[in-house]
């Protein structure tokens, strides 16, 4: 069987690659920034209304911010905007699928993300000195990174007891907590509750 040409595959695509069309009724702006070790990254700001509370959403390994703005279903960014958080940002750190250099071998690690990407992103948001609570999420059927968020929460809890939270969703797998068919009813309300409790 002859492989389909790239042109044929592109013509079959119904949803544009890396589209921002999944978030309606907001002013969208792209914010490039550089890390201390000399890498260019970006964040996208979705602004609908003035808000005292800004939400930063960060993807996991092997994905991108696309998982939070997909037009195929009710996505997390739209859900947050619709529920009173008027300013939501997404961060694409160095391992994002949106960056072409991730199509080749590199030696970046999650330590690089923690040491360089997060501080530069927070500095760009002018929030580097804010102690931001973190909600870590996973599904109880996550077979990809089975206990990574659970272990991360344990370590954060040891350093700052009670500041951060962990939510394990029954019946969900690895990325299902952001893209599953019932997330807007079963998962997103739990995330919204966390954000409202942390709000100024």
Mean pLDDT of 169-176: 87
Length of the chain: 200
The count of other CB atoms within 10 Å of the CB of residue 114 is 11
pLDDT score recorded for residue 128: 38
Structure confidence at residue 129 (pLDDT): 44
Query: How high is the pLDDT of residue 102?
Result: 65
Helix or strand or coil: residue 33?
Answer: strand
User: Measured between alpha carbons, how far is 8 from 14 in angstroms, rounded to an integer?
Assistant: 12
Cβ atoms of 184 and 73 within 8 Å: the answer is yes
CA atoms of 194 and 76, how far apart (whole Å): 14
For residue range 73-108, what is the model confidence (pLDDT) as tens digits?
889 999 999 999 999 999 999 988 887 776 667 788
pLDDT band at 125 (very low <50, low <70, confident <90, very high): confident
Cα–Cα distance for residue pair 38/52, rounded to 1 Å: 32
- Is it the case that residue 176 has pLDDT exceeding 90? no
**Best CA proximity match to 61, nearest among 91, 89, 96, 90:** 96
Residue whose structure tokens are 């990407």: 117
What average pLDDT does the segment 110-131 reach? Answer: 79
> What pLDDT, in 10s, does the model give residues 24-82?
899 999 999 999 999 999 999 999 998 888 899 998 877 888 888 888 888 999 999 99
- Residue 97, helix vs strand vs coil: coil
Cα torsion angle, 179, 180, 182, 183, sign = negative
* 200 confidence band (pLDDT: 50, 70, 90): low
Under 8 Å between Cβ of 106 and 50:
no
Q: Which residues contact 176 (CB under 8 A, 6 or more apart)?
A: 139, 141, 169, 183
The overall average pLDDT reported for the chain is: 84
Among the ranges given (97-101, 150-154, 167-171), the one the predictor scored with the smallest mean pLDDT: 97-101
State the DSSP code for 128. T
Number of H helices, E strands in the chain: 8, 6
Domains of the chain are 18-130 (3.40.50.1820), 132-200 (no CATH)
């Amino acid at each position: 069987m002859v492989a389909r040409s790239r042109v044929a595959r592109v013509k079959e695509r119904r949803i544009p690659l890396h589209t921002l069309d999944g978030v309606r009724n907001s002013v969208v702006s792209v914010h490039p920034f550089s890390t201390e070790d000399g890498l260019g990254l970006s964040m996208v700001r979705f602004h609908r209304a003035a808000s005292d509370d800004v939400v930063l959403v960060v993807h996991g390994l092997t994905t991108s911010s696309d998982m939070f703005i997909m037009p195929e279903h009710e996505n997390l960014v739209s859900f947050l905007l619709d529920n009173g958080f008027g300013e939501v940002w997404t961060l694409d750190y160095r391992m994002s699928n949106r960056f072409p250099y991730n199509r080749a071998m590199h030696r970046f690690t999650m330590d690089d993300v923690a040491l360089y990407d997060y501080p530069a992103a927070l500095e760009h948001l002018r929030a580097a000195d804010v102690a931001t609570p973190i909600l870590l999420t996973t599904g109880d059927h996550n077979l990809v990174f089975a206990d990574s968020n659970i272990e991360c929460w344990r370590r954060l809890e040891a350093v700052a007891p009670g500041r951060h939270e962990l939510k394990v969703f029954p019946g969900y797998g690895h990325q299902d907590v952001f893209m599953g068919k019932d997330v807007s009813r079963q998962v997103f309300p739990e995330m919204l509750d966390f954000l409202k409790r942390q709000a100024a």
